[in-house]
Protein backbone atom coordinates (compact mmCIF):
# COMPACT_ATOMS: atom_id res chain seq x y z
CA UNK A 1 0.00 0.00 0.00
CA UNK A 2 1.17 3.50 -0.63
CA UNK A 3 0.22 6.82 0.85
CA UNK A 4 -1.58 9.78 -0.67
CA UNK A 5 1.21 12.32 -0.82
CA UNK A 6 -0.47 15.36 -2.30
CA UNK A 7 -2.31 16.40 0.84
CA UNK A 8 -1.61 18.45 3.97
CA UNK A 9 -0.77 16.33 7.01
CA UNK A 10 -0.33 17.53 10.57
CA UNK A 11 3.35 17.60 11.54
CA UNK A 12 2.49 18.70 15.07
CA UNK A 13 0.96 21.36 17.26
CA UNK A 14 2.61 24.76 16.88
CA UNK A 15 3.80 24.46 20.49
CA UNK A 16 5.80 21.33 19.60
CA UNK A 17 8.37 23.22 17.55
CA UNK A 18 10.86 25.89 18.55
CA UNK A 19 14.49 26.88 18.24
CA UNK A 20 15.64 23.32 18.53
CA UNK A 21 15.73 20.35 16.17
CA UNK A 22 12.69 18.10 16.43
CA UNK A 23 12.86 14.78 14.55
CA UNK A 24 9.73 13.10 13.27
CA UNK A 25 8.84 10.39 10.77
CA UNK A 26 6.02 10.67 8.25
CA UNK A 27 5.40 8.07 5.55
CA UNK A 28 8.72 6.44 6.44
CA UNK A 29 10.56 9.69 5.72
CA UNK A 30 12.75 11.14 8.45
CA UNK A 31 12.15 14.85 8.85
CA UNK A 32 13.61 17.51 11.13
CA UNK A 33 11.49 20.51 12.08
CA UNK A 34 12.63 23.77 13.68
CA UNK A 35 11.82 27.46 13.73
CA UNK A 36 13.85 30.30 12.31
CA UNK A 37 14.82 33.23 14.49
CA UNK A 38 11.76 35.00 13.09
CA UNK A 39 9.55 32.10 14.18
CA UNK A 40 8.83 30.48 10.84
CA UNK A 41 8.66 26.68 10.94
CA UNK A 42 10.98 24.78 8.59
CA UNK A 43 11.04 21.06 7.70
CA UNK A 44 14.04 19.37 6.10
CA UNK A 45 15.02 15.78 5.40
CA UNK A 46 16.56 14.56 8.61
CA UNK A 47 19.63 13.02 7.03
CA UNK A 48 22.92 14.52 5.95
CA UNK A 49 23.64 13.49 2.34
CA UNK A 50 27.27 12.91 3.29
CA UNK A 51 27.30 10.11 5.90
CA UNK A 52 23.56 9.85 6.64
CA UNK A 53 23.75 11.18 10.18
CA UNK A 54 20.37 12.56 11.26
CA UNK A 55 20.64 16.33 11.03
CA UNK A 56 18.52 16.49 14.19
CA UNK A 57 21.68 15.30 16.02
CA UNK A 58 23.42 18.49 14.87
CA UNK A 59 22.60 22.06 15.86
CA UNK A 60 21.03 25.25 14.67
CA UNK A 61 23.40 27.93 13.43
CA UNK A 62 21.23 30.97 12.90
CA UNK A 63 18.44 29.73 10.64
CA UNK A 64 20.56 26.91 9.18
CA UNK A 65 21.15 23.35 10.39
CA UNK A 66 24.69 22.17 10.91
CA UNK A 67 25.38 18.44 10.74
CA UNK A 68 26.84 17.11 13.98
CA UNK A 69 29.48 15.03 12.20
CA UNK A 70 31.49 17.28 9.83
CA UNK A 71 29.61 20.55 9.97
CA UNK A 72 27.91 20.53 6.56
CA UNK A 73 25.31 23.25 6.92
CA UNK A 74 21.93 23.55 5.19
CA UNK A 75 19.67 26.57 4.91
CA UNK A 76 15.87 26.69 5.26
CA UNK A 77 15.47 25.87 1.57
CA UNK A 78 17.61 22.75 1.99
CA UNK A 79 20.58 24.07 0.02
CA UNK A 80 24.02 23.57 1.49
CA UNK A 81 25.53 26.87 2.58
CA UNK A 82 28.81 25.63 4.05
CA UNK A 83 31.15 22.64 3.80
CA UNK A 84 33.98 23.12 6.31
CA UNK A 85 37.39 22.56 4.73
CA UNK A 86 36.43 23.24 1.12
CA UNK A 87 35.23 26.25 -0.75
CA UNK A 88 33.10 24.66 -3.47
CA UNK A 89 29.47 23.82 -2.72
CA UNK A 90 28.45 21.14 -5.25
CA UNK A 91 24.93 21.29 -6.66
CA UNK A 92 24.30 17.86 -5.18
CA UNK A 93 24.75 19.18 -1.66
CA UNK A 94 21.16 19.67 -0.59
CA UNK A 95 18.40 18.10 1.45
CA UNK A 96 14.70 18.20 0.68
CA UNK A 97 12.74 21.10 2.13
CA UNK A 98 9.05 20.35 2.75
CA UNK A 99 6.32 22.97 2.32
CA UNK A 100 4.70 23.87 5.65
CA UNK A 101 1.55 25.76 6.52
CA UNK A 102 0.75 26.98 10.02
CA UNK A 103 -2.71 28.03 11.21
CA UNK A 104 -4.82 27.78 14.37
CA UNK A 105 -1.88 26.45 16.36
CA UNK A 106 -1.23 23.56 13.98
CA UNK A 107 1.74 22.96 11.69
CA UNK A 108 0.83 21.14 8.47
CA UNK A 109 3.30 19.53 6.10
CA UNK A 110 2.94 18.71 2.40
CA UNK A 111 4.49 15.34 1.53
CA UNK A 112 3.93 15.46 -2.24
CA UNK A 113 4.93 17.64 -5.15
CA UNK A 114 5.95 21.03 -3.78
CA UNK A 115 4.40 22.86 -6.74
CA UNK A 116 0.98 21.59 -5.68
CA UNK A 117 1.30 22.67 -2.03
CA UNK A 118 -1.49 25.23 -1.98
CA UNK A 119 -2.38 26.43 1.55
CA UNK A 120 -5.94 26.95 0.29
CA UNK A 121 -6.22 23.14 0.13
CA UNK A 122 -5.43 22.83 3.83
CA UNK A 123 -8.24 21.86 6.17
CA UNK A 124 -9.94 24.77 7.92
CA UNK A 125 -13.35 25.38 9.41
CA UNK A 126 -15.07 28.69 10.17
CA UNK A 127 -15.61 27.76 13.83
CA UNK A 128 -11.85 28.11 14.41
CA UNK A 129 -12.27 31.86 13.96
CA UNK A 130 -15.74 32.21 15.49
CA UNK A 131 -16.02 33.70 19.02
CA UNK A 132 -18.99 31.42 19.72
CA UNK A 133 -16.66 28.43 19.67
CA UNK A 134 -13.79 27.40 21.93
CA UNK A 135 -11.05 25.30 20.34
CA UNK A 136 -9.05 23.10 22.68
CA UNK A 137 -6.06 21.00 21.70
CA UNK A 138 -5.99 17.39 22.77
CA UNK A 139 -3.01 15.18 22.21
CA UNK A 140 -0.99 13.20 19.69
CA UNK A 141 -2.11 9.60 20.00
CA UNK A 142 0.20 6.98 18.49
CA UNK A 143 -1.57 3.91 17.14
CA UNK A 144 0.24 0.81 15.97
CA UNK A 145 -1.98 0.60 12.91
CA UNK A 146 -2.00 1.53 9.27
CA UNK A 147 -3.89 4.80 8.92
CA UNK A 148 -6.72 3.42 6.76
CA UNK A 149 -8.36 1.26 9.45
CA UNK A 150 -8.17 4.36 11.67
CA UNK A 151 -9.86 6.36 8.92
CA UNK A 152 -12.47 3.58 8.55
CA UNK A 153 -13.25 4.03 12.23
CA UNK A 154 -13.87 7.72 11.53
CA UNK A 155 -16.63 7.02 9.03
CA UNK A 156 -18.26 4.49 11.29
CA UNK A 157 -20.68 5.87 13.89
CA UNK A 158 -21.93 2.33 14.56
CA UNK A 159 -18.97 1.40 16.76
CA UNK A 160 -19.62 3.96 19.50
CA UNK A 161 -22.46 1.92 20.99
CA UNK A 162 -20.08 -0.95 21.63
CA UNK A 163 -16.60 0.54 21.96
CA UNK A 164 -17.41 3.66 23.98
CA UNK A 165 -20.28 2.64 26.29
CA UNK A 166 -19.24 4.94 29.16
CA UNK A 167 -18.48 8.10 27.18
CA UNK A 168 -19.74 8.63 23.64
CA UNK A 169 -22.26 5.84 23.12
CA UNK A 170 -24.89 3.76 24.85
CA UNK A 171 -27.19 0.90 24.00
CA UNK A 172 -29.95 3.23 22.76
CA UNK A 173 -28.13 3.68 19.45
CA UNK A 174 -27.29 0.06 18.70
CA UNK A 175 -29.97 -0.52 16.08
CA UNK A 176 -30.46 2.97 14.71
CA UNK A 177 -29.65 2.92 10.97
CA UNK A 178 -26.85 5.11 9.65
CA UNK A 179 -27.16 7.50 6.73
CA UNK A 180 -24.21 7.62 4.41
CA UNK A 181 -23.27 9.70 1.42
CA UNK A 182 -20.23 10.69 -0.53
CA UNK A 183 -19.67 14.41 -1.19
CA UNK A 184 -16.63 14.72 -3.43
CA UNK A 185 -13.62 13.75 -1.29
CA UNK A 186 -15.71 13.60 1.87
CA UNK A 187 -17.64 10.67 3.34
CA UNK A 188 -20.55 11.80 5.52
CA UNK A 189 -22.08 9.24 7.88
CA UNK A 190 -24.69 10.29 10.36
CA UNK A 191 -27.55 9.36 12.59
CA UNK A 192 -29.85 10.81 15.21
CA UNK A 193 -30.82 8.94 18.33
CA UNK A 194 -34.04 10.54 19.51
CA UNK A 195 -35.54 10.52 22.97
CA UNK A 196 -32.93 8.45 24.78
CA UNK A 197 -30.92 8.86 27.99
CA UNK A 198 -27.82 11.02 27.52
CA UNK A 199 -24.50 9.22 27.02
CA UNK A 200 -21.78 9.58 29.65
CA UNK A 201 -20.20 12.59 27.99
CA UNK A 202 -23.42 14.60 28.05
CA UNK A 203 -24.35 13.37 31.51
CA UNK A 204 -21.08 14.93 32.60
CA UNK A 205 -21.25 18.18 30.62
CA UNK A 206 -24.78 18.67 29.34
CA UNK A 207 -26.70 19.18 32.58
CA UNK A 208 -29.73 17.41 31.12
CA UNK A 209 -32.60 16.41 33.42
CA UNK A 210 -34.40 14.00 31.09
CA UNK A 211 -34.03 12.32 27.73
CA UNK A 212 -32.11 13.89 24.87
CA UNK A 213 -31.90 13.83 21.10
CA UNK A 214 -28.31 12.95 20.22
CA UNK A 215 -26.64 13.32 16.87
CA UNK A 216 -23.44 12.05 15.29
CA UNK A 217 -22.25 13.42 11.97
CA UNK A 218 -18.89 12.07 10.86
CA UNK A 219 -17.22 14.02 8.08
CA UNK A 220 -14.20 12.07 6.86
CA UNK A 221 -12.25 14.27 4.47
CA UNK A 222 -10.12 11.75 2.62
CA UNK A 223 -7.47 10.82 3.19
CA UNK A 224 -6.64 12.12 6.64
CA UNK A 225 -8.96 14.63 8.34
CA UNK A 226 -12.10 13.75 10.28
CA UNK A 227 -14.60 16.11 11.84
CA UNK A 228 -16.98 14.44 14.25
CA UNK A 229 -19.95 16.72 14.88
CA UNK A 230 -21.81 15.35 17.87
CA UNK A 231 -24.05 16.71 20.52
CA UNK A 232 -27.27 16.49 22.43
CA UNK A 233 -30.33 18.63 23.08
CA UNK A 234 -33.25 18.06 25.42
CA UNK A 235 -35.83 15.95 23.62
CA UNK A 236 -38.58 18.37 24.65
CA UNK A 237 -36.78 21.14 22.74
CA UNK A 238 -37.46 19.11 19.57
CA UNK A 239 -34.65 20.69 17.56
CA UNK A 240 -34.39 20.08 13.84
CA UNK A 241 -31.39 18.56 12.12
CA UNK A 242 -30.19 22.03 11.09
CA UNK A 243 -30.53 23.51 14.57
CA UNK A 244 -27.66 21.67 16.20
CA UNK A 245 -26.15 24.92 17.50
CA UNK A 246 -29.10 25.09 19.90
CA UNK A 247 -27.84 22.00 21.70
CA UNK A 248 -24.56 21.18 23.41
CA UNK A 249 -22.44 20.72 20.33
CA UNK A 250 -18.87 19.57 19.84
CA UNK A 251 -16.56 19.02 16.95
CA UNK A 252 -13.96 16.37 17.69
CA UNK A 253 -11.20 16.69 15.12
CA UNK A 254 -8.81 13.93 14.15
CA UNK A 255 -5.81 14.61 11.96
CA UNK A 256 -4.21 11.35 10.87
CA UNK A 257 -0.55 11.30 9.97
CA UNK A 258 0.88 8.02 8.67
CA UNK A 259 4.26 7.30 10.23
CA UNK A 260 4.72 3.96 8.50
CA UNK A 261 2.61 1.11 7.16
CA UNK A 262 1.93 0.03 10.74
CA UNK A 263 1.97 3.25 12.73
CA UNK A 264 -0.22 6.36 12.72
CA UNK A 265 -0.30 9.51 14.80
CA UNK A 266 -3.76 10.91 15.49
CA UNK A 267 -3.57 14.57 16.51
CA UNK A 268 -6.94 15.19 18.09
CA UNK A 269 -8.65 18.25 19.50
CA UNK A 270 -12.13 19.63 19.95
CA UNK A 271 -14.22 22.74 19.55
CA UNK A 272 -17.24 23.30 21.79
CA UNK A 273 -20.09 25.77 22.02
CA UNK A 274 -20.44 25.79 25.82
CA UNK A 275 -18.17 27.02 28.63
CA UNK A 276 -16.13 29.10 26.21
CA UNK A 277 -14.03 30.76 28.91
CA UNK A 278 -13.58 27.67 31.04
CA UNK A 279 -10.19 26.17 30.17
CA UNK A 280 -10.68 23.44 32.75
CA UNK A 281 -13.86 22.33 30.98
CA UNK A 282 -11.81 21.66 27.84
CA UNK A 283 -9.37 19.60 29.91
CA UNK A 284 -12.18 17.66 31.57
CA UNK A 285 -13.77 16.94 28.21
CA UNK A 286 -10.39 15.78 26.95
CA UNK A 287 -10.28 13.30 29.84
CA UNK A 288 -13.39 11.64 28.39
CA UNK A 289 -11.91 11.73 24.90
CA UNK A 290 -8.75 10.09 26.25
CA UNK A 291 -10.82 7.21 27.60
CA UNK A 292 -12.69 6.83 24.31
CA UNK A 293 -9.67 7.08 22.02
CA UNK A 294 -7.72 4.59 24.13
CA UNK A 295 -10.62 2.20 23.48
CA UNK A 296 -10.30 2.79 19.72
CA UNK A 297 -6.54 2.32 19.95
CA UNK A 298 -6.89 -1.07 21.65
CA UNK A 299 -9.24 -2.28 18.91
CA UNK A 300 -7.31 -0.90 15.96
CA UNK A 301 -4.02 -2.29 17.24
CA UNK A 302 -5.52 -5.74 17.78
CA UNK A 303 -6.85 -5.67 14.20
CA UNK A 304 -3.48 -4.54 12.84
CA UNK A 305 -1.82 -7.47 14.61
CA UNK A 306 -4.26 -9.83 12.85
CA UNK A 307 -3.79 -8.11 9.51
CA UNK A 308 -0.13 -9.11 9.61
CA UNK A 309 -1.26 -12.71 9.11
CA UNK A 310 -3.19 -14.13 6.14
CA UNK A 311 -6.88 -14.47 6.78
CA UNK A 312 -8.44 -17.91 6.58
CA UNK A 313 -11.72 -16.77 5.08
CA UNK A 314 -13.01 -13.75 3.27
CA UNK A 315 -14.24 -10.86 5.33
CA UNK A 316 -17.92 -10.04 5.66
CA UNK A 317 -19.23 -6.64 4.65
CA UNK A 318 -22.23 -5.24 6.45
CA UNK A 319 -24.65 -2.37 5.87
CA UNK A 320 -22.53 -0.15 8.14
CA UNK A 321 -19.58 -0.57 5.77
CA UNK A 322 -20.90 1.84 3.17
CA UNK A 323 -18.90 4.69 4.69
CA UNK A 324 -15.57 2.84 4.80
CA UNK A 325 -16.30 1.52 1.27
CA UNK A 326 -16.62 5.10 0.02
CA UNK A 327 -13.49 6.12 1.88
CA UNK A 328 -11.39 3.35 0.34
CA UNK A 329 -12.72 4.22 -3.11
CA UNK A 330 -11.83 7.89 -2.73
CA UNK A 331 -8.35 7.02 -1.47
CA UNK A 332 -7.84 4.72 -4.45
CA UNK A 333 -8.88 7.54 -6.77
CA UNK A 334 -6.44 9.91 -5.09
CA UNK A 335 -3.65 7.34 -5.37
CA UNK A 336 -4.45 6.74 -9.04
CA UNK A 337 -4.04 10.47 -9.69
CA UNK A 338 -0.56 10.30 -8.22
CA UNK A 339 0.73 7.36 -10.26
CA UNK A 340 3.24 8.72 -12.75
CA UNK A 341 1.58 8.62 -16.14
CA UNK A 342 4.36 6.78 -17.91
CA UNK A 343 4.28 3.71 -15.64
CA UNK A 344 1.54 2.22 -17.78
CA UNK A 345 2.87 3.51 -21.08
CA UNK A 346 4.02 0.85 -23.55
CA UNK A 347 7.71 -0.04 -23.37
CA UNK A 348 9.86 1.78 -25.90
CA UNK A 349 11.50 -0.58 -28.36
CA UNK A 350 15.23 -0.66 -27.79
CA UNK A 351 17.03 1.62 -30.25
Q: What angle do CA 323, 327, 330 make, to 5 degrees?
A: 140
Interaction between residue 329 and another protein (CB under 8 A): yes
Phi first, then psi: what are they for 135, rounded to 5°?
Answer: -85, 145
> Mask: binding to another protein, 109-148, rule CB under 8 A, as x and -?
----------------------------------------
Closer residue to another protein in complex, CB, 73/173: 173
Residue 316 CB, shortest distance to another protein, in Å, is 5
Q: Please report whether residue 229 would count as binding another protein according to CB under 8 A.
A: no
Among 115, 318, 336, 349, indicate the residue that binds another protein (CB under 8 A).
318
- The only residue of 85, 314, 337, 345 in contact with another protein, by rule CB under 8 A: 314
C-beta closer to another protein: residue 312 or 350: 312
Query: Does 321 interact with another protein (rule: CB under 8 A)?
Result: yes
Work out which of 52, 309, 313, 341 binds another protein, going by CB under 8 A: 313
Residue pair 67/50 in contact (Cβ under 8 Å)? The answer is yes
191 binds another protein per the rule CB under 8 A: no
DSSP state of 52: -
Residue environment code for 44-75, b if the CB has 16+ CB neighbours within 10 A, otherwise e? bbbbbbeeebbbbebebeebbbbbbeeebbbb
**Rule CB under 8 A: is residue 183 a binding residue for another protein?**
no
How far is the C-alpha of 312 from the C-alpha of 243, rounded, in Å? 48
Please give the C-alpha separations between residue 8 and each of 75, 257, 280, in angstroms, as whole numbers.
23, 9, 31
Tell me how far, at minimum, the Cβ of 336 lies from another protein, in Å. 13
345 lines the binding site for another protein (CB under 8 A): no
Binding to another protein by residue 319, rule CB under 8 A?
yes
Handedness of CA 328, 254, 241, 129 (dihedral sign): negative
H-state helical runs in the chain = 147-153, 160-163, 200-205, 279-307, 322-338
For residues 316 and 343, which CB has a smaller minimum distance to another protein in the complex? 316
Residues lying near another protein in the complex (CB under 8 A) = 313-314, 316-322, 325, 329
Amino acid sequence: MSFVRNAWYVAGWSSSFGRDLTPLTIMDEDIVVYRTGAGRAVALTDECPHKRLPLSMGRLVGDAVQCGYHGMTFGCDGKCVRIPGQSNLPSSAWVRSYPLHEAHGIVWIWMGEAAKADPALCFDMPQFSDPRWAPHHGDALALESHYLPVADNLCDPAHVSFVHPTTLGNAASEDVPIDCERRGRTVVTSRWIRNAPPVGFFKAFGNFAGNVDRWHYYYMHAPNVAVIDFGSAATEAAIGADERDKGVRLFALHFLTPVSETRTIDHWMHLRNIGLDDESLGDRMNQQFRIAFAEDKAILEAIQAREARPRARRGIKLAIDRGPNYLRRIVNELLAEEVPRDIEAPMQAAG
